[in-house]
Structure 1
Amino acid sequence: MAIRRKKHAGRNPFRGVVDTVSEMNRIADRMTGADGATTVPEQPRGHTDAWTPTTDILAKGSDILIRCELPGVEPGDVDVSLSRGTLTIAGARGTDDEHEDFLVRERAHGQFRREITLPEGVSEDDVEASFHEGVLEVAVRGSVDSTGPARIDVRTKE
């Protein structure tokens, strides 16, 4: 026997879009004021709670390629730096619709930061960055054949 449900005129068209985890996060945000529902002002994001862009790291010939998806980010809002063997990709994605009433908001905005440890001996002359159609590509020239970390044997004491 099939169960038929009555259609309600006021039915939420987004029912089923928000899963249990998203709903729990929404409730937690509402309780802490993170969603702006209370008088607690929204705090700017810092490096510890910045969103992380989707990133692929691959080898192409002797180069390492790092591709970060950054839709909605302007090239001038991206900072790529190299310090002590760590490549840092940082920046911010703004929003033009801050005054909209969102029913569901899943796209991250604000500051982002990604740190990638590169092989030993890479200098800034080995790194080139380009930005095309929302994808940042960083090429680290000649670094695939670099030697990895030295393995240290662990001995037991008697």
Structure 2
Amino acid sequence: MTFDPFGDLDRLRDAFRTGARAVPVDLVREGDRYLLNADLPGVDPGSIDIDLDGNLLTIRAERTQAVHDGAKWIAQERRGGSYYRQFTLGDGIDRESISASYEHGVLSVMIPISEKAKPRKIQIAAPEVRESISA
């Protein structure tokens, strides 16, 4: 076994940390939508809750601790507990079309951009041509 001072500090910090842990995410824009991928390994999909209140998108999840009656733990690094993350969405989002899926421990939230916020071309009007009347 090797000495890892940073790993030891992380474990010590986690031992004293209480409350919900932050959900690690990736957020990318793909064409006309944003894609948010959140790592939630070992989480029961039924425990995942996604709320949208105004501009605030909230993700909550619960991972239950494994129970082994009568067993002696040798190592227990996969802790249970609550996960929580909030995002403020801008005005250019199509809130009615937000969707989510969960596969292989990754929650994917698709956030489409509203039609009003999509880039568009603006036509330039040519001046009107007036015919002159000769007498």
Instruction: Provide structure 1 residue ranges, at least 5 long, that are not aligned to the other structure.
Output: 1-14, 36-42, 148-158
Name the structure with the higher strand share. 2
**CA–CA separation in structure 2 for the residues paired with 1:59 and 1:109:** 32
**CA–CA separation in structure 1 for the residues paired with 2:39 and 2:10:** 24
Instruction: Provide structure 2 residue ranges, at least 5 long, that are not aligned to the other structure.
Output: 119-135
The change in CA–CA distance for 1:108 and 1:54 in structure 2 (over 3 A counts) is farther
Comparing 108-117 with 96-105, which one deviates more in the overlay?
96-105
TM-score (norm 2): 0.68
**CA–CA separation in structure 2 for the residues paired with 1:79 and 1:138:** 12
Per-residue deviation, residues 6-39 of structure 1 (Å, max 9, x unmatched): xxxxxxxxx21x511333465678xxxx57xxxx
1:19 aligns with 2:29: no
Aligned to 1:72: 42
**CA–CA separation in structure 2 for the residues paired with 1:102 and 1:59:** 43
| 1:113 CA drift (Å) | 0.3
> For residue 97 of structure 2, what is the amino acid of its counterpart?
D
Q: What are the equivalent positions in structure 2 for 1:1-150 lying under 5 Å apart?
A: 15-16=1-2, 19-24=4-9, 34=15, 45-46=18-19, 50-97=20-67, 100-103=72-75, 105=77, 107-120=78-91, 122=93, 124-143=95-114, 146=117
Aligned to 2:132: none
1:87–1:117 Cα contact (<8 Å) kept: yes
> For residue 7 of structure 2, what is the amino acid of its counterpart?
S
Structure ID, larger Rg:
2
